[in-house]
Structure 1
């Protein structure tokens, strides 16, 4: 199984890459600037340039079976990159041999009550609102698409943070859920484990799932 990770030099993307390498999976890093892959990682992965602000050349996915997309616009403030990238990938990937797309989603679109999402909560942090809304738009793109690609939108817990593996993760659906003390949390390492575990099966195709302790 040859996998490609879009955004492999980012925080979540790099954790996903390390988890994939620990499982001895061949990894291709699709990044805007391959020169950012340095040291030991540069020797373990194949790097190809991919700028999601430009038209995607299907050839960049040559030899790839599965794509994990960790698209983020927080650093540049270009949050619309998320829905536009989702649309572009759903259009381009059917022209390649890629059959599956795993998307690093957000928690803001999870339902805290029927018809009410987390981002609509009055205490939702305003500094993350634009990003959460953009991820919600990306989810809508996926749900309204008739692309042949088998996609899964993977929402982390509301609190995803640096750290090693802590506990067994749980998988939910569209509903926001918490642990025994009422917190919605997961370490980035366990989120990566959950994402890579999806590779072993075709479960959760064409749907959004959520991952938390």
Structure 2
């Protein structure tokens, strides 16, 4: 497949890039830091400002799927992160429509996953306040996508703790519920396994215009 990754050098984008390449896909890495990715036979690298909708649409035209792994800097305030994510995601959605790419797969956040019916993790009393900026800015992606029906999309929410770790290839899925290991009460997944779950969904689509959750 031809896969374009927006934010291909990021914390989650980089493992997704490695997983996509390992499976033999043709990848376009779109990033603010193009020098950090060496171009190879299966990876084309392009520096594109996510807010430049016309340039983004031109870059992704002809691709089978776009992965939205764009995230504002963690050093920004929560209000700035929310605003930048809204602007960036809005530009990505417009570029998808202009280019005719049929599918968008977005890196979601754990904050919107439910810990009880109708209760998202980010609104629970035990949610760490230091993660609120990331949770509420990532929630913007889900909010904007939910009103879109011009193209197929999916928003994949990870568990509470998404960290660098080994690739096991094993994971579980849910719909809106936060995935928790019942024996330990821990909600965890490695970024490598999150990339596995995403590429599995891209290669064999099982979800359409909805969010689903993953975890180990």
When normalised by structure 1's length, the TM-score is: 0.91
Partner-residue secondary structure (3-state), 2:50: coil
Q: Which residue of 2 aligns with 1:113?
A: 116
8 A contact 2:103–2:152 mirrored in 1? yes
Residue from 162, 183, 190 that aligns with 1:187? 190
SS of 2:104's partner is: strand
Asked if 2 retains the 8 angstrom alpha-carbon contact of 1:84 and 1:138, the reply is no
Residue 167 of structure 1, CA deviation? 5.8
Q: Distance in 2 between matches of 1:60 and 1:76?
A: 28
C-alpha distance in 2 between matches for 1:200 and 1:9: 22
CA distance in 1 between counterparts of 2:45 and 2:102 reads 21
Residue 172 of structure 1 is matched in structure 2 by 174
Deviation of 1:32 after TM superposition, in Å, equals: 1.6
Cα 1:76–1:157 change in 2 (3 A) is same
How many residues in Structure 1 have an aligned counterpart in Structure 2? Answer: 209
* 3-state SS of paired residue (2:81): coil
Instruction: Return the alpha-carbon distance in structure 2 between the equivalents of residues 52 and 71 of structure 1.
Output: 8
For structure 2, the 5+ residue unaligned runs are none
Aligned runs of 1:1-213 on 2, under 5 Å? Answer: 1-38=1-38, 42-44=39-41, 45-57=43-55, 58-77=57-76, 78-80=80-82, 81-146=84-149, 148-166=150-168, 168-180=170-182, 181-213=184-216
Q: Could you list the per-position Cα deviations for residues 48-100 of structure 1 after superposition, in whole angstroms to 9, with x for gaps in the alignment?
A: 12212344421111331111111111335242232332222222212223111
- Residues of 1 paired with 2:26 and 2:107: CA distance? 20
Using structure 2 for the length normalisation, give the TM-score: 0.90
| 3-state SS in 1 of match to 2:5 | strand
> Gapped runs of 5+ residues in structure 1?
none
- Worse overlay, 173-182 or 47-56: 47-56
* Closer/same/farther in 2, CA of residues 53 and 97 from structure 1, 3 Å limit: closer
8 Å CA contact 1:87–1:142 kept in 2: the answer is: no
Structure 2: distance between partners of 1:149 and 1:93: 8
Separation in structure 2 between the aligned mates of residue 63 and residue 92 of structure 1, nearest angstrom: 12
Distance 1:114 1:62 in 2: 40
